[in-house]
């Protein structure tokens, strides 16, 4: 899938201690004496081994960095040390590097150096479409995801070998989307008073909340309402594990990725993320899963009366050896990983734009009021909210999830139609953040926020071109493009639109006086301002 995977692991949440991000480590929960013993054992046996392994890994990465290098124009100073300096620049802000490359080589392929090798970047629709249409046996999305996420060591070997979550997202999850809307709005209405409590102390009634933390709680509850249903989707302990899981995957993948292939299983075993997190989830899911499995057996595998949710779909298509609570919980974690943080980050940016652009609130609210009054909280009503859809899409055009999209890895040598040659083992991406602010595509105001940019285009084009948020193209690459575009985008977009519409109908929202959210680039990732606060107030005239 072209969902971009990353977490907020490198930034300290403003109201949590750093240690809270690592609370699942068992030895941090033990008495001091136990921690000391553990540390002593690590010092005695593992530090030397880990240091040796790390140095071996760096050596292999250095060899790889020079062995796979296409003959293409590069960004930054020439020479060995120049490329390292540029790679270090990219670890701070890759978007700036891509901007330089895109301006110089627009429509062509160019390379940027990274600490682990060279990456080819595509900067034109012809090359993007050509890569989109290339066979997976030659240019592979799966291999790229495996490199980024280190799937066998983070999500599990069975997830890497048989990605059932992709089939579910493309099948029952999308096909049954309309039937989920009553459950989504019910969960939103249940979550609102919990996540946005009334402030009795403020004379004007404003309540201050953290934008990202509130976003991720909204998304977690609504997603898991569809994944596992009530009451588990409202269980704080369960949701906490699910929210933290993405952080742990990215920590593990980053560490494991530094080591050579033959050492990765041992490093992953020391870190132990996948099994530890699965066991933690199992404390909450075991009883429910056992009941579901017994129901399936009792119905002779017909399973007619089962709830229409993710667990049912997993049980329907999982191989026989995975029809047990542990394996199904691991599958549940993998689906959660692909959906939770990406959707939360998108929605966090959307809320910050809404609060920072008060001139859009009245027209968006009027549109939502009319649509809901005429069609209820349905898929049809959300489809009518074209301005709301445009507002979300425009926010992601300027922010998105990162600087690149459509990352692939070549399995064989490949030559593009313009003569660009990339050898086997090359990582290729699309310079998405640069394309999204290209004046030749989005006009002279390409760097400015225009919330109704896409709804206006839809009116001008009279429906001949689909400008909706979920539509992918070489000009809008948030979800990737082509057959590997994120299959969960339909559900994510529906949840965000319904949540935003509900907030508009029931609340006023603004930023604190004098505050402007920051844009935080970390390597190729764009991180929401974790310290950003929003002010909510219950409407007196809903």
Structure-token pair, residue 121: 């970047």
What phi and psi, each to the nearest 5 degrees, are found at residue 409?
-135, 130
Residue 252 vs residues 18, 127, 268, 278, 317: alpha-carbon distances, Å: 17, 33, 7, 15, 29
What phi and psi, each to the nearest 5 degrees, are found at residue 38?
-60, -45
Structure-token pair, residue 45: 């046996």
Q: Name residue, tokens 């990274």.
A: 114
CA–CA gap between residue 95 and residue 461 (Å, rounded): 31
SS (H, E, C) 520-532: EEEECEEECCCCC
CA–CA gap between residue 213 and residue 191 (Å, rounded): 13
Residue 362 vs residues 208, 357, 509: alpha-carbon distances, Å: 21, 11, 11
Structure-token pair, residue 91: 């670890």
Q: Name residue, tokens 């995957």.
A: 249
Evaluate whether 480 touches 2 at the Cβ level (below 8 Å): yes
Residue 454 vs residues 320, 345, 463, 467: alpha-carbon distances, Å: 47, 21, 12, 6
Helix (H, G, I), strand (E, B) or coil at 447: coil
CA–CA gap between residue 409 and residue 411 (Å, rounded): 6
Bond into 231 cis (ω within 30): yes
Contacts with 421 (C-beta within 8 Å, 6 or more apart), sequence order = 70, 71, 413, 414, 415
Structure-token pair, residue 226: 């569809």
What phi and psi, each to the nearest 5 degrees, are found at residue 71?
-90, 80
CA–CA gap between residue 168 and residue 164 (Å, rounded): 6
Instruction: Report CA Rg, the chain.
Output: 24
Evaluate whether 512 touches 535 at the Cβ level (below 8 Å): yes
Q: Can you spell out the DSSP letters for 352-386?
A: HHHHH-GGGHHHHHHHHHHHHHHH-SSHHHHHH-H
Annotated binding residue at 486? yes
Evaluate whether 364 touches 387 at the Cβ level (below 8 Å): yes
Binding residues for heme: 486
Please enumerate, by residue number, every residue annotated as part of a binding site: 486
């Amino acid at each position: 899938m072209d969902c971009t995977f990353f977490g907020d692991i490198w930034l300290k949440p403003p109201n949590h201690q750093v240690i809270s991000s690592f609370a699942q480590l068992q030895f941090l929960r033990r008495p001091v004496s136990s921690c000391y013993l553990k540390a002593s054992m690590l010092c005695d046996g593992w530090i030397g081994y880990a240091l040796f392994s790390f140095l071996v890994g760096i050596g292999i990465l250095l060899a790889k960095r020079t062995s796979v290098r296409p003959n293409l124009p590069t960004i930054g100073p020439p020479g060995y040390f120049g490329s390292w300096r540029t790679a270090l620049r990219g670890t701070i802000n890759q978007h700036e590097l891509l901007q330089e490359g895109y301006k110089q080589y627009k429509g062509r392929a160019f390379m940027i150096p990274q600490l682990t090798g060279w990456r080819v970047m595509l900067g034109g629709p012809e090359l993007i479409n050509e890569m989109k249409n290339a066979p997976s046996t030659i240019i592979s999305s799966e291999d790229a995801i495996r490199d980024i996420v280190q799937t066998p060591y983070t999500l599990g070997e069975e997830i890497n070998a048989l990605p059932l979550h992709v089939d579910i997202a493309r099948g029952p999850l999308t096909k049954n989307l309309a039937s989920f809307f009553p459950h989504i709005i019910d969960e939103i209405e249940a979550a609102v008073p919990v996540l946005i409590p009334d402030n009795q102390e403020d004379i004007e009634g404003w309540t201050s909340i953290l934008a990202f933390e509130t976003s991720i709680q909204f998304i977690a509850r609504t997603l898991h309402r569809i994944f596992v249903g009530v009451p588990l989707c409202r269980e704080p302990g369960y949701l906490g594990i699910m929210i933290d899981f993405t952080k742990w995957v990215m920590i593990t993948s980053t560490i494991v990725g530094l080591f050579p292939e033959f050492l990765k299983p041992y490093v992953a075993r020391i870190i132990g993320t996948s099994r530890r997190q699965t066991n933690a989830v199992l404390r909450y899911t075991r009883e429910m899963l056992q009941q579901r499995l017994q129901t399936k057996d009792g119905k002779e595998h017909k399973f007619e009366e089962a709830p229409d949710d993710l667990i049912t779909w997993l049980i329907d298509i999982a191989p026989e050896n995975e029809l047990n609570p542990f394996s199904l919980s691991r599958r549940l974690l993998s689906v959660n990983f692909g959906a939770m943080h990406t959707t939360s980050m998108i929605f966090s940016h959307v809320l910050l734009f809404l609060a920072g652009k008060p001139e859009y609130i009245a027209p968006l609210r009027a549109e939502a009021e009319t649509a809901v009054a005429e069609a209820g909280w349905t898929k049809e009503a959300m489809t009518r909210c074209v301005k709301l859809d445009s507002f979300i899409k425009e926010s992601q055009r300027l922010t998105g999830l990162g600087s690149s999209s459509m990352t692939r890895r070549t399995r064989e040598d490949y030559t593009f139609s313009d003569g660009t040659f990339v050898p086997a083992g090359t990582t290729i991406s699309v310079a998405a953040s640069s394309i999204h602010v290209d004046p030749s595509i989005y006009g002279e105001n390409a760097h400015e926020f225009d919330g109704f940019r896409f709804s206006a285009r839809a009116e001008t084009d009279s429906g001949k071109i689909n400008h909706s948020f979920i539509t992918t193209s070489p000009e809008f690459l948030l979800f990737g493009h082509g057959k590997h575009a994120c299959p969960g985008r339909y559900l994510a977009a529906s949840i965000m639109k319904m949540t935003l519409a509900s907030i508009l109908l029931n609340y006023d929202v603004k930023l604190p006086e004098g505050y402007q959210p920051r844009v935080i680039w970390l390597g190729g990732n764009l991180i929401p301002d974790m310290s950003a606060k929003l002010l909510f107030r219950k409407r007196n005239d809903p």
